A and B are shown apart, each in its own frame.
Chain A
Amino acid sequence: MTRKRRRLYIVIAALLVFGGATALVLTALDDSLDLFQSPSQLMASPPPPERGIRLGGLVEEGTVLKSTDGLSVSFRVTDGAQSVPVSYKGILPDLFREGQGVITVGNMGPDGTFVAREVLAKHDENYLPREVVDALKESGQWQGEATQ
């Protein structure tokens, strides 16, 4: 077993493993990506039904309807210009509210309704960027009771 031979074996094994991994990655990237779209983009060019989509926008006021069994929900997601009807079966996230930001993951149905398999609401609303904190202090306006 010479040093050269050993290196050759390692190189061959490495090429096999990494070649295999690359092939896996390429095929997986082809068909398991969710594309982020706004309602306007979605309406402008409706994607094929098999394409996974993340639809982001606001839950339009007054459009949230629950079915009589209490499980299926329909609502519209809007970005101000366009709105898309969404149907979803399951428990809505804790922070799901009308007029709030939401991301739904799913596919466009043939009837133009977006069928969501997952609904994500914003995790924490009380995020205060650092520049705001700085600005608060600069302006001397920081007061505890102001924070709801």
Chain B
Amino acid sequence: MIIELGHFALILALAAAVIQGTLPMIGAARGDAAWMALARPAAVAQLFLVVFAFCALTQAYVTSDFSVLNVVQNSHSAKPLLYKITGVWGNHEGSMLLWILILALFGSAVAVFGGNLPPSLRARVLGVQAWIGIGFMAFTLFTSNPFERIFPAPLNGEDLNPLLQDPGLAFHPPMLYAGYVGFSMAFSFAIAALIEGKVDAAWARWVRPWTLLAWAFLTGGIALGSWWAYYELGWGGWWFWDPVENVSFMPWLLGTALLHSAIVVEKRNALKTWTILLAILTFSLSLIGTFIVRSGVITSVHAFASDPERGFFILILLAIAIGGSLTLFALRAPSLKAGGLFAPISREGGMVINNLFLTAACAAVFLGTLYPLFLEAIDGSKVSVGPPFFNATFVPLMVPLVFLMAVGPMLPWKRADLAGALVRLKVAALAALLVAGLTWYLQTGGPILAVAAMGLAAWLFIGALVEWADRVKLFRASPGESWRRARNLPRAAHGMTLAHAGLAVAMAGMIGSSVWKQEVVTNLKPGESVEIAGYSLLFEGVGKLEGPNYKAERARFTVTRGGEEIALMFPEKRVYQVKAMPTTEAAIRTTFFSDLYAVIGDADGQGGWTVRVYHEPLVPWIWIGCLAMVAGGLTSLSDRRLRVGAPHRQHKSTARPAAA
């Protein structure tokens, strides 16, 4: 019964969205305040209905209601409760429902906190948001209904893919979707602005927090997915340039560009048209990502089950949403008023360069990801574009960007003195040389590129800190004075420093693990040991282990260094019983500077086991750096100026009074 009510609630939510998407839009065109005002209650009603639908499905999972097809296909009564809940979105249908839920959450956030938006802009933003919701709800109801029953009900379910039964991956999709869907806010604001024919600082002040929030979620989501791949797939790698990874990375690249260009719109009223285009493209790439993952047009190791019929439906949605918005852009954008002037060497100029590199990098990833499809359409040959392509294109585009990242924040708005900025960075240059020299000394015969790359990471890290130190007059004023300055500094400034420094740390981690990774594959009998990077791992044998829904073979290693025992490691091979699917559970011993990573393979039948051991230097820094970036985003978000709903200074161009 609850399931039918959930289904019904979703249909009602669709109806609410239709109202929200039409009447307020007409109201805004006619200047009818009553019709415009309908948008807010409609958005809130939609949220309640979708929450109900989501809870109904969750309830079916928690109680293992096997009369629901979706539960049968993705759950099992023996599954731990956590994975029963996360199983809700571990499949296509349920993940669409989660997507709709997050969309409704964002929409009603505008409705609830959008009191200070001009009423017509608010009505239009909510209207556009509703149309996105209509598209996805119709898609879910007509092609991917999670509430379908089956009769007769089977005794038990087929279980969730064991690879997905993992805490890292359990929370990866919600964060990723919050990121994707968060960009829909920037999109809705962009479309509303195109309809209104007006972009101003107030608009940018509204777009920025949503973009920042979406960006922080997406950063976290990508990092979580990468972390999962690192420890769960057992290959010791953390990024594979797989299409599924790339489609989440592309919105991230453009979203990062949008984050920066929106600042220029807010502060300098320039780059308006470009920012609108970026907002449209960022969300478009999120949609295209959904399409690629779910339609099966491109082969990937971990795509959802593909289905051309569904793919066709999403493609129509894409055509309407992206084609429609870009057409609107082509029609309306030329008549937007151009904004403020700036010299090429200025903060604005720096942002332009940042945007150019990020967009170019995104275009390279886009081409690499879709090239197999293009080529197959042209001459039928099937190719795959692997990491070498992305390393050869993406990395060279990132190097100048990272170099300029330290310089940009030093430049004042409008017009700047490059020489002056570089002088302020002499400490960073010194640090870069020092780190490069140290790297050179520590590695013997390693690649020279690694030396330069580590130097670059140090340049960015110290550059970000120097900029912050300058602003609080660290060491140049009394500590009390510096503290006072730091407290008065806008949160956004702290956030930027944190995010930039975080990227530097993550970069160092990526460089370290790519360049100095060591790998030993060997066959060991109990009592034998393997040496790697100064560690010695003594193989003590393999025992059997029984988990709640799997059986495992667990190896035991004693790790010693310099004759001293420092740790025990237990890599496992599991077989999940319902799907009879084996998985590898790596054992990872992490220190601040490196990971020791062990995986067991098959027994050779003569008492020996294949063992693979990696030493992965600096990998923990990747996760630390990503955390710092997310923290930077959230710190910036807590800035008073951006706080959602907080009163802000009325900008001259905000002609309309704030609505009550």
Task: Determine direct contact between A and B, CB below 8 Å.
Answer: yes
Q: Is A144's CB under 8 angstroms from B305's CB?
A: no
The answer to whether A144 and B155 touch (CB under 8 A), given A6-B342, A133-B69, is yes
Q: How far is the CB of B163 from chain A (nearest CB, A)?
A: 8
Instruction: Specify which chain A residues have a CB less than 8 angstroms from the CB of B610 in the assembled complex.
Output: 70-71, 91
Q: How would residues 18 to 42 of chain A score, 1 for a CB under 8 Å from any chain B CB and 0 otherwise?
A: 1011001101110111111100000
The answer to whether A25 and B393 touch (CB under 8 A), given A32-B386, A144-B155, is yes
Instruction: Determine which residue in B302, B352, B360, B573 has the highest number of CB atoms from chain A within 10 A of its CB, and name it.
Output: B360
Q: How far is the CA of A99 from the CA of B88 in the complex (A)?
A: 33
B221-278 residues with Cβ-Cβ distance < 8 A to A are 234
Instruction: Determine which residue in B161, B349, B384, B581 has the highest number of CB atoms from chain A within 10 A of its CB, and name it.
Output: B384
Secondary structure of the B side of the interface?
Answer: mixed
User: Contacting A126 at CB < 8 Å: which of B388, B573, B579?
Assistant: B579
User: Contacting B364 at CB < 8 Å: which of A21, A95, A120?
Assistant: A21
Instruction: Determine which residue in A20, A54, A71, A94 has the highest number of CB atoms from chain B within 10 A of its CB, and name it.
Output: A94
B349-394 residues with Cβ-Cβ distance < 8 A to A are 349, 352-353, 356-357, 360-361, 363-364, 367-368, 371, 381-386, 388-389, 392-393
Instruction: Specify which chain B residues have a CB less than 8 angstroms from the CB of A33 in the assembled complex.
Output: 371, 383-386, 389
Q: B601 on the interface (CB 8 Å rule)?
A: yes
Instruction: Specify which chain A residues have a CB less than 8 angstroms from the CB of B389 in the assembled complex.
Output: 28-29, 32-33
B122-157 residues with Cβ-Cβ distance < 8 A to A are 150-157
Q: Is A144's CB under 8 angstroms from B302's CB?
A: no
Q: Is A69's CB under 8 angstroms from B523's CB?
A: yes
Q: Is B73's CB under 8 angstroms from A35's CB?
A: no
Which residue from chain A places its CB closest to the CB of B583 in the assembled complex?
A94
Instruction: Specify which chain A residues have a CB less than 8 angstroms from the CB of B72 in the assembled complex.
Output: 144
Q: Is A1's CB under 8 angstroms from B342's CB?
A: yes
Q: How far is the CA of A91 from the CA of B302 in the complex (A)?
A: 20
Which residue from chain A places its CB closest to the CB of B573 in the assembled complex?
A94
User: Contacting B156 at CB < 8 Å: which of A13, A27, A92, A144?
Assistant: A144
Q: How would residues 575 to 602 of chain B score, 1 for a CB under 8 Å from any chain A CB and 0 otherwise?
A: 0000111111000000000000001011
Which residue from chain A places its CB closest to the CB of B603 in the assembled complex?
A70
Q: A110 on the interface (CB 8 Å rule)?
A: no
Q: How far is the CA of A80 from the CA of B158 in the complex (A)?
A: 32
Q: Is A17's CB under 8 angstroms from B582's CB?
A: no
Q: How far is the CA of A28 from the CA of B397 in the complex (A)?
A: 13
Q: How far is the CA of A109 from the CA of B357 in the complex (A)?
A: 40
The answer to whether A9 and B344 touch (CB under 8 A), given A21-B364, A32-B389, A95-B582, is yes
User: Contacting A17 at CB < 8 Å: which of B357, B599, B612?
Assistant: B357
Q: Is B602's CB under 8 angstroms from A92's CB?
A: yes
Q: How far is the CA of A34 from the CA of B415 in the complex (A)?
A: 48
Q: How far is the CA of A94 from the CA of B572 in the complex (A)?
A: 12
Q: Is A144's CB under 8 angstroms from B154's CB?
A: yes
Q: A: which residues have CB within 8 A of B?
A: 1-3, 6, 9-10, 13-14, 17-18, 20-21, 24-25, 27-29, 31-37, 52, 54, 66, 69-71, 89-92, 94-95, 105, 120, 123-130, 133, 137, 142-145, 147-148
Name the 3 nearest CB pairs between A and B, nearest first: A144-B154, A32-B388, A36-B382
